[in-house]
Every structure is written in C-alpha cells, then in structure tokens.
Amino acid sequence: MNSHHEKHKHSQDKHHENGHHDHTEHHKHMIADFRQRFWISLVLTIPILVLSPLIQQIIGYEIQFSFDKYILFALSAIIFFYGGWPFLTGLADELKKKQPGMMTLIAVAITVAFGYSTATTFGLKGDSFFWELATLIDIMLVGHWIEMRSVVNASGALQSLIDLMPDEAHLIEGDDTRDVKIDELKAGDIVLVRPGEKIPVDGKIIEGKSNINESMVTGESQPVSKSKDDEVIGGTVNGTNSLKITVEQVGKEAYLNKVIQMVRDAQSKKSKTQHLADKIAFWLTIIALTVGFGTLTTWLVLGKSFVFALERMASVMVITCPHALGLAVPLVVAISTSVSAKQGLLIRNRTAFENARKVSVVVFDKTGTLTKGNFGVTRFKSLYDSYSDQQILAMAGALESESEHPLAEGILRKVKKEAIEIPKVSDVETITGKGIEGNVDGTQVKVVSPGYLEENNIDIPEEVDTDSQETIVFVVANDKLAGVIALADEIREESFEAVKMLKKQGIKIYMMTGDNENVAKAVSNKLQLDGYFAELLPDQKLDKLKMIQDRGEFVAMTGDGINDAPALAAADVGIAIGSGTDVAAETADIVLVNSNPKDISALLHFGEKTHRKMIQNFIWATAYNVAAIPLAAGVLIGYGIMISPALGAVLMSLSTIIVAINAQLLKKGIK
C-alpha cells in the first residue's frame, strides 16, 4: 500500500513540476490574452466615441439616427463582457481571498457604468456613461498588459531542484546488482554508487571511501572525504571511488525533498503580500460604495426623485475609479523594470522590489557571493634548502595537472600566473582522501594533507601556521617534507565596497555559510560584518533568517546556490547572484545579472525611488477624484455647480497624461 501511495505522490509531484513549466506558458498566454482584448476593445471604442452625445457636444458635431443608442448599447455590451471579463473574474478571485483590490474597484466601476447606461438606453431618464465604460476598460487592459509584460514571471525553481535527484539506483541483492527506480527503494536496502555518479538516497556508507562533492547542500566547493559509517545526502556527487550505502531516507523524507518543500511553503506564503496598488484600490472601493450609496440615500431623503438620486450615485461610482489609476502603477513598473534590467537587475517579484526600501538587514551567503567560490593559492614556501619556493609550486603543479580536485585548479592557476614551467610527470596515483603522488623529473613527489603527515609520523615545522582559515597542503619529495602551499577561497574585491555602501545606508550585514567557523570568522573580520553564522545546512539557514525576521528586521538575503534556495524564498527580498545556480535565480525575487554585490546598494536605492514615483502617481491619479466626487454627488448643487460629464472627461484625460509623464521621469533618476 505504502509504495503505491508513494508512487502516487511521486507522480503527483512530477505533475506539479510540469505545472511550473506551464506556469511560464500560462503567463505568456495571459499577456497575449490581455493584448488581444485591448486591441479588440479599442477598435469597438471608436464608434462608441463617435456616437456618444457628450463627445459630439464637446467637439461640436451631430450624428443622430433612430436606433443610434441601441448600437451604442450593443457595442458597449461587447466591450463590457469581452474586455471587462478579466476584471469581473478578478473581482470574484479577490473576494474569495477576502482581499478586495484593484480588480474589485475596476469591476465595481464598469458594472455601475454599464448597468446605469443600459437602464437609460431602455427608458430611464438620464445620460449614458458608455464612452466612459469603454475608455476605462481600454486603459485598464493596456495597463495590465504593460505591467505583466514588464515583470519576469516564471517559477522553475522546484523543477530544477527536482532534476537534481537521480531517478535510478543500483540496488545490491546478494551478489547481483540491478537498476531500480528510486521510489522502489525502502529503508535498509543497500545501493552501489559508482565514481562520478549522484548519490541517489540519504543513507550511511557501509563500504568504501571517497571524496564527495556536497556543494549543492553546503555551498562549499571543497569535496568532503567520507568513509564507513559516514552519512551521505541524496543528490550530492560521488568522487573517485565506489561506495556501498544503506538506504535511510527516501522520497518525501529525503533531505533534498524537504528543501523542495521549504521552498514551496515560503513561495506560497510570500505571494499573499499585496501590491501597493491593491491597497489603495481597496480604500477607493470602500469610498466609492460608501459615498455612492450615501449620495443616493441623501438625495432621496431630501425629496429628490429616484431617477435624479440614481444618476448622482452612478456618477460618483464611475468617477471614483480613476482612469489614471490603471496606468499609475503599470507605467512605473514597466519603466523601472526596464531601467533596472539595463543596470543588471532582473526584477521577478514586484512586491519585493517595492519593499526594498524597507530593508534593515542584508544577509549574504559566503561562497560565490562575498567570495569568488574557488580556491586560490594565498602563499607557498619551501621548507627544504634544496628547493626554491618556485620549485615547490612547480612540483605540486606537475602532479595537480593530472588531478580533477578543486584545489588542483587553484594551484594550476597560480602556476600560470607566476609563469612557472611545469616539469614532466609520470606514474600519477591518488592517495585516497589524502592527496596525490607521482614521479616528477625523477623525484618521487607527493602533495598531501596534514592528516597524511600525522599518519606517517612526519613532523610539521613550528614556522608553519596550520591553525589559519586556509586549506594547507604539503609537498613531500623523496619522503622528505619539502614545502607548504596554503589555499583559500578569495574575497571578491567588490565585496569590500558593497559592505561599505550598505553600512553607509545604515543597514546591518550578516553572513551565513556552510563553511567552518574559522573560515567564516576570518571573512567576517576582514569585511567587518555585523555578524556571521557558520556550518549551516539549508534548513538551518532558513531558521536563522526567520530568527532575524522575528526580531522585527526587514531582511534581504543574497545567495547563489541550491543551499540558499529556502532562505531566498523566505526572505522579505530574495536576491540571487546571476552566476549562481538556476535554482537560486528561480527562487529569488531579484537577480543580479552581473553577480556584483555592489549592485545591492543601487537596488535598494532604486526600489525607494520607484516606490516614491508610485505614491506620486497615486496622488495625481486620485487628486482629481477627491475634488470631483463631492461635485458629482451634488454638494454644491445649490450654487448651480455640478460636475458636467464633459468637464469630468477633460479632467480625467488630464490626470492620465500627468501620470504618464511623471512615470517617464523615473528614467532620469537612476545613476
């Protein structure tokens, strides 16, 4: 039963993942849908404007024939149901979530305009609002279309995470091995992992010894030596030797699947935060309904006819939904996302970007974000008179040119930089978990870890500092200790400036890393950070991040790896480094294309500017309404002042133009 259930879960999950690919497709489809609705509605709006008595009055021409108002009604009905459909369904969604916002406001306005105008077409005394209905729908459609086009929206994070898990494992049964699907394994089974393969399950090594690349979980680029009784995590990559592993956790219980679940939870929690536009629209809706019904009641109490009171109420409710509001935010969003993209910032989640101005703490992942993520030689030295410092590096380089180890790359880069000739090398063999040996120009040379020296009772001279945060390797020539090479993950130049710039903005800076305490402390001290957390797994990074949030801080997290994904998704603003993994980029709200931590300072600054522009635009968009609503309600009717629909139309166009121009000013503002 259980395995059947697991299988069902697995297929559900697979289905879930494909959903993410569809998500991008769905987004493209929605953009196309808004575009099509906009163009069709726009074409239908032209005859509506031509036939509208108000427009005829403003421009000063007259077209009238016996059934003109029915044509107006028919065209408007098409625009209302076809063009207005996304807003009507949006209203239903928002009310279901108990979060009335932009869609509710638009839907209320167009429904009132359509309902009232239909009534006047079929006998109620009064003027129709058909032209207002049509132009409102056109502007709102174009606004939504612009906005959706400008924000990159895709969530392939979970897909990329799931792809990390191998599908099959080599199950050992007695003397045979056979390949089985992962979901057929159960705890206690024994699997074989060959060199270079991904480890298929969480388990324990029962035979073999190998270097395992766990960077996807810990974020650390240096492989970890593991042997009998050590735990291994599914999805990590086995090094040069075969291992036999007992299965402990599989499927839903496996560590990587827990990480996937953490990301999923964090993402769904975040999508609940509301855009600024929705908050303002919510209040405008309340005002429209309150003032609208208040107007109706007041005029009826004052003894005016129902028809008069209804016309005032309809005017108020239509005017409350400003045309300019439909463009106030989308234009700012479109311009700020395109300006940001030119600056190397890809904005994937708008709310997070709007909130960037509130950030009080920036948390950096260490490896690959603050540091370069690869090992570089920090110092090398001969400990034996027969060899120069350069020769030590040359001998090590000769052996390492045959190795795949990340430390090898670091040594070879240094050899190249120092322009050292590499001598001839033969008979190269690895000393499992301890180093490499071979024949270099007739000398038997080994490059080994401090552990090898201990095992072979070779004393390390006093002058060699092995307590530092560096990784130390020793060069042994003909069984004599000849030299030492120290390597470390180098801090990026930009990191120093990034920290300075953020501190100037009054922001606290912490670092999280899967690396050990010594290394973390050294990097933190050099960069003068406010604090650091070391030796963390992805779920622990998430816990620490929540801990900082619980102190009331507004947190931006910057990372580049799978191990950062849960924390990136849960942070108030998740920022991925462009050179990092797809998973990090997919879970983040903003991607730094140039992978430069200095861009974060610019991002926070520009988020603030964008937010300010939005507020200004809301003020422009709604100021006209604040003035027009009481006049439309008929407050000054005793003085003969009442807003005529013609004046309403002019004011409305004006506020829309001002909003559009104001949004353009954002382009000047970044540098």
* Model confidence, pTM: 0.68
- Region 263-277: what's the mean pLDDT? 64
Query: CA-to-CA distance for 368 and 374, rounded, in angstroms?
Result: 8
- 364 and 496 co-located in one domain: yes
| 260, pLDDT greater than 80 | no
At 557 the pLDDT is 92
- 396 and 433 co-located in one domain: yes
Could you tell me the CATH number of the domain that includes residue 210?
A: 2.70.150.10
- Going across the sheet that includes 168-173, the strands are 176-181, 168-173, 190-193, 243-249, 202-207, 231-232
What is the residue type of 386? S
The per-residue pLDDT of the chain, averaged, comes to: 80
Could you tell me the CATH number of the domain that includes residue 523?
A: 3.40.50.1000
- 362 and 403 co-located in one domain: no
Q: 377 falls in which pLDDT band (50, 70, 90)?
A: confident
- 460 and 507 co-located in one domain: no
Residue 100 lies in a domain: no
pLDDT in tens, 74-128: 998 999 999 899 888 988 888 888 878 778 888 888 888 888 888 888 877 777 7
| 336 to 342, 353, 593, 669: CA distances (angstroms) | 10, 10, 16, 10
With 0-12 / 13-18 / 19 or more C-beta atoms within 10 angstroms meaning exposed / middle / buried, residue 314 is: buried
pLDDT in tens, 352-368: 887 888 899 999 988 77
- 378 and 454 co-located in one domain: yes
pLDDT in tens, 498-535: 999 999 989 999 999 887 788 888 889 989 999 999 88
Residue 479 lies in a domain: yes
Show the tokens assigned to 492: 């990026």
Query: CA-to-CA distance for 194 and 196, rounded, in angstroms?
Result: 6
* CB-facing half-sphere around the CA of 267: CA atoms within 13 A: 21
Residues 6+ apart with CB under 8 A from 300: 306, 309
- Region 345-353: what's the mean pLDDT? 79
| 10, pLDDT greater than 70 | no
Instruction: State the catalytic residue, choosing from 138, 365, 489, 564.
Output: 365
Of the three residues 444, 466, 490, the one that is the final residue of a domain is: 490
Of the three residues 593, 624, 640, the one that is the final residue of a domain is: 593
Q: 466 falls in which pLDDT band (50, 70, 90)?
A: low
Q: 152 falls in which pLDDT band (50, 70, 90)?
A: low
Q: 635 falls in which pLDDT band (50, 70, 90)?
A: confident
Rg from Cα positions in the chain: 33
- Name the nearest CA neighbour of 587 among 113, 157, 268: 157
Cβ atoms within 10 A of the Cβ of 329, count? 30
Lowest mean per-residue pLDDT among 104-108, 391-395, 534-538, 582-586: 582-586
Residue 276 lies in a domain: no
Lowest mean per-residue pLDDT among 298-312, 564-578, 588-602, 638-652: 638-652
- 356 and 503 co-located in one domain: yes
- 512 and 420 co-located in one domain: no
| 69, pLDDT greater than 70 | yes
Q: 402 falls in which pLDDT band (50, 70, 90)?
A: confident
At 3 the pLDDT is 43
Of the three residues 540, 568, 593, the one that is the final residue of a domain is: 593
Instruction: Look at 506 and 564; give whichever has higher pLDDT.
Output: 506
Residue 158 lies in a domain: no
pLDDT in tens, 153-209: 444 555 666 676 778 889 998 888 899 888 888 889 999 998 888 888 889 999 988
| 368 to 24, 158, 544: CA distances (angstroms) | 28, 21, 20
Residues 6+ apart with CB under 8 A from 46: none
- Name the nearest CA neighbour of 198 among 239, 157, 249: 239
Residue 7 lies in a domain: no
At 519 the pLDDT is 81
Provide long-range contacts, Cβ within 8 A and 24+ apart, for 97-100: 99/274, 99/278, 99/282, 100/281, 100/282, 100/285
- 388 and 444 co-located in one domain: yes
Residue 550 lies in a domain: yes
Lowest mean per-residue pLDDT among 55-69, 549-563, 656-670: 55-69
Structural domain boundaries, residue 424: 372-490
Show the tokens assigned to 363: 């948390």
| 590, pLDDT greater than 70 | yes
At 63 the pLDDT is 76
365 catalytic? Reply is: yes
Residue 162 lies in a domain: no
Q: 339 falls in which pLDDT band (50, 70, 90)?
A: confident
- 481 and 381 co-located in one domain: yes
- 378 and 410 co-located in one domain: yes
Pairing of strands 508-512, 531-533: parallel
Could you tell me the CATH number of the domain that includes residue 377?
A: 3.40.1110.10
Query: CA-to-CA distance for 324 and 282, rounded, in angstroms?
Result: 16
| 544, pLDDT greater than 90 | yes
Q: What SS3 state is found at 377?
A: strand
Give alpha helix (H) positions in 505-587.
517-527, 538-550, 565-570, 582-587
Query: CA-to-CA distance for 179 and 185, rounded, in angstroms?
Result: 11
- 453 and 556 co-located in one domain: no
Residue 543 lies in a domain: yes
Residues 6+ apart with CB under 8 A from 645: 54, 127, 129, 132, 315
User: How many domains does one find in the chain?
Assistant: 3
Show the tokens assigned to 198: 């991904």
- Name the nearest CA neighbour of 576 among 600, 541, 553: 600
- DSSP result, 477-507: ETTEEEEEEEEEEEEPHHHHHHHHHHHHTT-
At 372 the pLDDT is 81
| 21, pLDDT greater than 80 | no
| 670, pLDDT greater than 50 | no
Residue carrying the six token digits 């207002």: 132
84 neighbors 38 (Cβ within 8 angstroms): no
- 444 and 470 co-located in one domain: yes
Pairing of strands 237-238, 443-448: unpaired
At 85 the pLDDT is 92
